[in-house]
Amino acid sequence: MIRVYFVGTGGGAPSPYRSLPSYLIRREGFYALFDCGEGTQRNLMEYRLGIMSIKLIGITHMHGDHVLGLPGLIQTMGLLDRKEPLYIMGPKAIKDFIERTSELTGFRAPFEIRFIDSYEDENIRIYKFPTCHTIESYGYIFEEKERKGLDVEKLRRDGINDWQILRELKAGKEVRFNGKTLKPEDYIIVKPAIRVAYTGDTSYCEKVIDSVKGVNLLLHDSTFLDEKDAREWGHSNAIDAATVAKQAEVKRLALIHISSRYRDTSQFVRLASRIFDKVFVPEDLSYYILDREP
Amino acid sequence: MIRVYFVGTGGGAPSPYRSLPSYLIRREGFYALFDCGEGTQRNLMEYRLGIMSIKLIGITHMHGDHVLGLPGLIQTMGLLDRKEPLYIMGPKAIKDFIERTSELTGFRAPFEIRFIDSYEDENIRIYKFPTCHTIESYGYIFEEKERKGLDVEKLRRDGINDWQILRELKAGKEVRFNGKTLKPEDYIIVKPAIRVAYTGDTSYCEKVIDSVKGVNLLLHDSTFLDEKDAREWGHSNAIDAATVAKQAEVKRLALIHISSRYRDTSQFVRLASRIFDKVFVPEDLSYYILDREP
């Protein structure tokens, strides 16, 4: 199960209604934060989510609204005496940004910061893809890998509930049961990967469509409602975002990076849903649960 | 009349109850902000105070909790297309900090930033004083200058209400009235200066006592309740702050920079008031009005 926390859903400047960009994606004890606008650490506290559980931070690009909360978050981790290493992904300049701001504010992290290009463990993969913005900019995919699991329904139908038999089958071994030979391949099913994509800042972008094909949830820039000049600013409007979602055949679309000029976002949903109807505009401090599909 | 806005009354790390240090002092249309911890720009929006009205920002020292909200505030001013120059006071390193963070986040202010050492106009003086912290650190005095005004009470008693006569007297001229000569010195009174002092971070400090003598309101570091090792960290506890207030004969004391470890601050007031009883612990987003004394 993956939870996506919409820590800050605004963009550019904060408003009383939306904070600057930050999204936390959590799978069991693994927390990854994507972008870290000013105010992120305090918003995380509002969720009562321990900031020390964050293992990895991915930054999309070096504009201030996406990155100016990072030095403060790292310094609070230091104040709380973090020892665990922290993984950082992002554009090349992110290393310099962290090191310079630490120097300028007389801070030395008591933990290691590891700059990495992608992340993978037994259960999770996190990787970047390029987007179309005014400067070097990336989106992120957070993937819970496909996993083999027992077909609980079929086992129930066949009257099999002995945990030792289940263990053998799961380990890929044949088992004798009621005079029959049970074959593991008959009881093991593949649970598909779950993928969440976050674009950061982007205008309508073919590279994004290629990269987010079929994801379960797409968080797409929708800075503007329907302004045609969104592209000139390296941003999208709600129609651009819905078009990408449709062409990439994603399962669900969240419109994010909403400009502070909008308070009511009902028009965003109305416009976008003409093109792609599984769409919503998350509020700050809300979250969304993605469970494995059957 | 001066209003002091307690934008962020915490210190070190934010908590859900207190934000990082920032205090806005306002006299009519003149707004000065002292320190700018992460989250300041959004807290200012909660007050519905226009951030563009800020003319001057004074930074006490270069620790992250006091300064990491500054790049974001300046960038939002830029996004809102500020043209007015912005005055910045602070330690020498503040210039480098603003310039480096702007470069690293690809930002160029569309307005002039003027680094100054003190500020003075017809009505206001703002100046620094040294404090005792772990690095170069200053406190600030915001002074509304003493002013000459008409003694409204005496004029009423003497039956004088002709505005032309009032104008002449105010301009220092003698006036004939009911066969008598009115002398301006009989009707002009001096309204004393009003001064607010903000210490930033400091341990118990003789230099602070000298600098804040007799101020109308003292905002003093009270990071800790009664911990004896406050001084080792370059901070004060509530007893230190009350002792300074008493020795400096200030009129009122606000305990600030409260560590995130405390939620209930009633003990702060109880302890401090044994030494100095005109004391309070302001909440975030509250404000305090200082009017001229009679």
In this complex, which of A45, A71, A100 lies closest to B64 when CB atoms are compared? A71
Residue B250 tokens, joined: 């200030």
- H or E stretch covering B102: helix B93-104
Q: Which residues of chain A have pLDDT under 50?
A: 294
Residue A293: predicted pLDDT: 54
Residue B294: predicted pLDDT: 42
Q: For A17-72, give the DSSP string.
A: S-PSPEEEEEETTEEEEE---TTHHHHHHHTT--GGGEEEEE-----HHHHTTHHH
Residue A13: predicted pLDDT: 95
Considering just the CA atoms, what is the radius of gyration of chain B in Å? 21
Torsion of CA B14, A81, A32, B72, to 10 degrees: 40
Which one, of A166, A143, A266, lies nearest residue A213 by Cα? Answer: A143
C-beta atoms of B72 and A64 within 8 A: yes
Q: For A60-100, give the DSSP string.
A: ----HHHHTTHHHHHHHHHHTT--S-EEEES-THHHHHHHH
Residue A173 tokens, joined: 């071994």
Q: Are A83 and B83 in contact (CB under 8 A)?
A: no
Interacting residues of A54 by C-beta distance below 8 A, sequence separation 6+: A24, A31, A32, A33, A77, A86
Considering just the CA atoms, what is the radius of gyration of chain A in Å? 22
Q: Are B161 and B155 in contact (CB under 8 A)?
A: yes
| Contact residues of A toward B, CB < 8 A | 12-16, 19-20, 38-39, 41-42, 45-46, 62-65, 67-69, 71-72, 75-76, 79-80, 93, 96-97, 100-101, 104-107, 135
Which SS3 state, helix, strand or coil, does residue B72 take?
helix
Other residues' Cβ atoms within 10 Å of the Cβ of residue B191: 14
Helices H / strands E in chain B, number of each? 10, 20
In this complex, which of A13, A71, A97 lies closest to B79 when CB atoms are compared? A13
In the residue annotation, B65 being an active-site residue is answered as yes
In this complex, which of A12, A93, A105 lies closest to B79 when CB atoms are compared? A12
Kindly tell me if the per-residue pLDDT of B28 is higher than 70.
Answer: yes
In this complex, which of B19, B62, B105 lies closest to A64 when CB atoms are compared? B105
How distant is the alpha carbon of residue A60 from its chain centre?
12
CA nearest to B45 within chain A = A16
- Give the model confidence (pLDDT) of A195-248 as tens digits: 999 999 999 999 999 999 999 999 999 999 999 889 999 999 999 999 999 999
Beta strands (DSSP E) in A131-236 are 138-144, 147-150, 175-177, 180-182, 188-191, 194-198, 217-221
Residue B161: pLDDT band by 50, 70, 90 thresholds? confident
b/e map B25-47, b = 16+ CB within 10 Å: bbbeebbbbbbbbbbbbbbbbee
Q: For B239-261, give the DSSP string.
A: HHHHHHHHHTT-S-EEEE-EETT
Other residues' Cβ atoms within 10 Å of the Cβ of residue A224: 25
Residue B293: predicted pLDDT: 54
Q: To the nearest whole percent, how much of chain B has pLDDT over 70?
A: 99
Residue A244 tokens, joined: 């990408």
Which one, of B82, B22, B75, lies nearest residue B53 by Cα? Answer: B82
What's the gap in Å between the CA of B68 and the closest CA on chain A? 7
C-beta atoms of A15 and B46 within 8 A: no
Which one, of A124, A294, A129, lies nearest residue A197 by Cα? Answer: A129
Residue B160 tokens, joined: 């004088």
Work out the average pLDDT over B142-149. Answer: 92
CA nearest to A39 within chain B = B39
Q: For B182-237, give the DSSP string.
A: EPHHHHEEEEPPEEEEE--S--S-HHHHHHTTT-SEEEEE--BSS-GGGGGGT--B
What's the gap in Å between the CA of B274 and the closest CA on chain A? 32
- Residue B81: phi, psi to the nearest 5? 65, 45
b/e map A57-81, b = 16+ CB within 10 Å: bbbbbbbbbbbbbbbbbbbbbbeee
Q: What domains sit in chain B, N to C, each tagged with a CATH number?
A: 2-146+192-290 (3.60.15.10), 148-189 (no CATH)
Residue B292: predicted pLDDT: 62
Mutation site, A38, A45, A133, interface B, largest B CB count within 10 A: A38
More confident residue, B58 or B192: B58
Which SS3 state, helix, strand or coil, does residue B268 take?
helix
Mean of all residue pLDDT scores within chain B:
95
Which SS3 state, helix, strand or coil, does residue B26 take?
strand
Residue B227 tokens, joined: 């911990």
b/e map A260-282, b = 16+ CB within 10 Å: bebeebeebeebbeebbebbbbb
pTM of the predicted model, to two decimals?
Answer: 0.91
